[in-house]
A and B are shown apart, each in its own frame.
Chain A
Amino acid sequence: MTGRIDRAVNYALLVGFSFVALYPIGGIVLAALQRPGELSGFSIPRDLHFSNFAEAWTQGHFATYLKSSLIVSVSVVVVATLLSLLAGFAFGTMKFPGHRLLFYVFLLGLMVPLEGIVIPLYYDLRALSLTDTYWALILPQIGLSLAFGTFWMRAFFMSTPRSLIEAAEIDGARNWSILWRVLVPFARPAILTMMVLIFMWTWNEFLLALVMVSSENLRTAPLGLAFFQGQHSSEATLLAAGAIIVSLPVVVTYVLLQRHFIRGMLSGAVKG
């Protein structure tokens, strides 16, 4: 009896929270499909206007922005993943002088907000003539992602059975082979999860792009959306369509990888 009540309460809570989470998203999707100029709050469109997307795409130059975002995000994800694996492996499996202190330095990267460093960073990059280039977006975000990535991979490598590493050592593997042949295939869910998270954060980064680039063809999608918003502040249907275009890649990535993502999130928490 209590089982049934429990389950009903569980479902009620889950449905409630899902509604809270989905309501604004649903609102935007519905808004994007309204006839232009007819938007009034949360309402079901009378007929579906997919043309809003085409309109937003061309007017907002989203092809350019998405290309920039893709270049930046993919570069950051690839390089940060590679470096996080190496650093996480070192911190997670080796004992070297100062490893604890060094790790705290890495953690600092997780704690200091970008807002706190973006101004000095701007001057540094300008001194290197890197502002208004892709480098200005890619390099700082690799650094920012590395703090989380190292933390994440270290936790994973620490949780892998020590005997697995020892068996490989005795089998004749050097560190490089242990990492790439034994641990990385084993760590795939955790690595994919990390990649999805870094991709999302990089894709959605706004402040850095705003400060670092001024050329239109370097603008990332969120930045482009902001400019688009400034130009079309009254055309809510177009804005909604633009917002969906910008967020779609992240949603698609997540949906495609969600099985691995959830497995990665649970690994370590639940014994396999």
Chain B
Amino acid sequence: MARVRFVEATKRYGDVAALEGLNLTVEDGELVVFVGPSGSGKTTALRLLAGLESISSGHVYIGDKQVDDIPPRERDIAMVFQDYALYPQMTVYKNLAFGLRMRKVPGPEIDKQVRDAARILGLEAMLERRPRQLSGGQRQRVALGRALVRSPQVFLMDEPLSNLDAKLRVQTRVEIARIQREFGTTTVYVTHDQTEAMTLGQRVAVMKDGALQQFDTPKTLYDRPANLFVAGFIGSPAMNLTEASLDREGDSLVARFGDHRLRIGDDTLARRPELHRFEGRKVVIGIRPEGFEDASIVPEAPPDRRLSVVVDLREDMGSDVYAYFSGLPAFTPETTGKPNDAADPTTRPPDTATFIARLSPQTHVREGTQAELLVDEEAIHFFNPETGLGVDGGRTR
């Protein structure tokens, strides 16, 4: 087991920085997930840690040892690849044993460890089969087993679930979490799927364009996103964003957007003292879908915290009802026009935004009719429209 540290870790390909000055520490025994859209630098960070890419500047430490110039085989790590990378001509047994044989572990010891790993992963019946005779889920478990059997200091996982179907993905995710906890091995896990990141990571590093956006627990990322990117990327459905002006009315602040106004209570102001600076200015407000409720089923819903909207579409999910409504002024982040925008959840159509509200199944909202939605004040997030940073949000790093 070991702590992993990135210190100003940078990887450049010519003029392009795939990873820029990453500073991050994964504590001993921790499972950290790197998440971000493609090209965000998450895989580059993992490959630097594995030693599969050379570092352009900065350092990587495993334990107390600086590993910048140490080849992968001497880093005492194990990696699970997206395509599993099982040795096709070897049986499952030999696949599991390969790493131990390369390390000159004595035969009886290899046999014991391979059988132990096979038992933990339920692979005992397939030890003599070859990878192509296995299903995707089984191959995935062999890949996990190959990492497990070596008892390395660090597990590296590069989108290990992306080739599995939805059901198997959930199962394997639980399995990975269980094994990681059981063995307590420091783990760095890369994915583009925020659900995977949130459910699996003890802490999550959100990456974009080669830079770390926020590194914190899933709950903090969700409750206090450091910037608009994190706000839009974490959570599903994504956070609703709109541009509002913050005005003083009497002794309280009011956020106005479109025809709507929301009173900002004293509690909120006390929690976010920086908000006062935005008085009379524009601010981006973000409301998570679950920050709404149908006002008609909430007793004593305060009138100054309601939005009166026309519901465009109602989706019954069983446990929730999703209500879509539009006509609110959209906020388009400054990232518009970059090639990655298609994958960037913070990008919205230019003029009006479509909002999603996640309502309780008792709701009376109907498609095409007016509805009163109550906004949970605690669920409102504020962002500086110029910098995109959260107002009293979580720390960026």
List the interface of chain A (C-beta within 8 A of B).
161, 163-164, 166-174, 177, 181-182, 185-186, 188
Contacts and interface: CB of A to CB of B under 8 A. Distances in A.
Given A163-B82, A167-B79, A172 B87 contact: no
Contact of A166 (B79, B86, B103): B79
Please report whether the interface of chain A is mostly helix, strand, loop or mixed according to DSSP: helix
B85 A167 contact: yes
A169 B90 CA distance: 16
Contacts of B88: 164, 186
A171 B146 contact: yes
Contacts of B79: 166-167, 170
A170 B73 CA distance: 5
Nearest to B73: A172
Interface of B: 50, 52, 71-73, 75, 77-79, 81-83, 85-90, 98-99, 102-103, 146, 150
Contacts of A161: 83, 85
Closest 7 CB pairs of A and B: A172-B102, A171-B99, A163-B85, A167-B85, A185-B89, A172-B73, A163-B81
Given A163-B82, A173-B102, A177-B102, A168 B87 contact: yes
Contacts of A170: 50, 52, 72-73, 75, 77-79, 99
Nearest to B143: A167
Given A167-B86, A168-B87, 13 more contacts: A161-B85, A163-B81, A164-B85, A166-B52, A166-B81, A167-B79, A169-B72, A170-B73, A170-B77, A171-B99, A171-B102, A177-B102, A188-B89
Among B50, B72, B78, B86, chain A packs the most CB atoms within 10 A around the CB of B72
A135 B52 CA distance: 44
B150 to A, nearest CB: 8
Contacts of B52: 166, 169-170
A270 to B, nearest CB: 16
A166 B78 CA distance: 11
Nearest to A184: B89
A182 B72 CA distance: 17
Contacts of B102: 171-173, 177
A174 B81 contact: no
B44 to A, nearest CB: 14
Contacts of A169: 52, 71-73
Given A166-B72, A167-B79, A182 B87 contact: yes
A154 B50 CA distance: 25
A178 to B, nearest CB: 10
A128 to B, nearest CB: 42
